[in-house]
Structure 1
Amino acid sequence: MDLRQLTPDIAVAGQIRPEDLPALAQAGFRVLINNRPDDETGPGEDHEAMRRAAEAAGMRYHFNPFTPGQVTPQMISAQAEALADPGPKLAYCRSGNRSTVLWALARAGQEPVSDLIETAARAGYDLSGVRPLIESLARPEE
């Protein structure tokens, strides 16, 4: 399992499995954010299986599926809400990239855009392609 720390209380990862959750909970994660659409996974890793496994491990669970290229304001708001859930969080998708994109979009306007891009880069994710979107969300409404 390739966990990449973005901030002290948020990490991202590629696909995890239900059997990974007890160890993740033991490692201190309290919140699981699933950004992977069900049509990309098998039935043993769909959002219901992951929800049950997260709850059995004592973790709170958020399902916010992100199909590549189809980000919406509602998804950004849902990610921000999940990120506000107290405690260490793990967000995952296929590779961790979409979870990182949603993290940056949810943080736009709260942190400098360059800091968000740099944090993602340190974790191995290139967000330069979504920088214009992050910048547009960071600008106050006119």
Structure 2
Amino acid sequence: MNIRFLSNNYAVVQQITPADIDDLREQGFAALVCTRPDGEEAGQPAFAAIGAQARAAGMEAFWLPVTPGRITDADRAAFAVLYANAPKPVLGFCRTGLRAETLWNDTRDRRDAAAAQQARPGD
């Protein structure tokens, strides 16, 4: 598994399986974000199985399926909010890790704004 850290609290990796969850938890990840739709290719594990295994291991798991090459503004907004509220560190994954990385890169300003808003509750 080739995990690439894009920040102290966010990393990306290619498709994972339920069997990978315990190892990821041992590496310290607190949350997973799957950016891949179910059924994209034969043999791909369903997110429900990955999410169930993650929750059993004490992790949070989020599903934000995006279409390759067609990430929308709504996808970006959802990712920024999801990341701001997720326990850290977060591991994003998809077929190759590219969609998870693209969402990270495309949402820097939104993540910064969400973090600032959390620091000022009541605004």
Do 2:80 and 2:110's aligned partners in 1 also have CA atoms closer than 8 Å? no
TM-score, normalised relative to structure 1: 0.72
Do 2:81 and 2:111's aligned partners in 1 also have CA atoms closer than 8 Å? no
| Amino acid across the alignment from 2:98 | N
TM-score, normalised relative to structure 2: 0.82
Please identify runs of 4+ aligned residues in structure 1 that moved more than 2 A. Answer: 41-44, 108-111
Higher RCO (C-alpha under 8 Å, 6+ residues apart) = 2
Unaligned runs of 5+ in 2: 113-123
Equivalent pairs: percent with the same residue? 37
Q: Distance in 1 between matches of 2:80 and 2:39?
A: 23
| Alpha-carbon offset, residue 43 of structure 1 | 6.6
Deviations 1:72-129 (A, max 9, x none): 1221112112211131110001111111001111214667xxxxxxxxxxxxxxxxxx
| Amino acid across the alignment from 1:18 | P
Deviations 1:56-81 (A, max 9, x none): 11111110011112211221112112
* 1:14 paired residue number: 14
Q: Secondary structure at the match of 2:65?
A: coil
Q: Distance in 2 between matches of 1:55 and 1:43?
A: 22
* 1:89 and 2:95 matched: no
Do 2:12 and 2:101's aligned partners in 1 also have CA atoms closer than 8 Å? yes
* 1:37 and 2:30 matched: no
Q: Distance in 1 between matches of 2:41 and 2:16?
A: 11
* 1:61 paired residue number: 61
| Alpha-carbon offset, residue 39 of structure 1 | 2.1
* 1:79 paired residue number: 79
Unaligned runs of 5+ in 1: 112-142
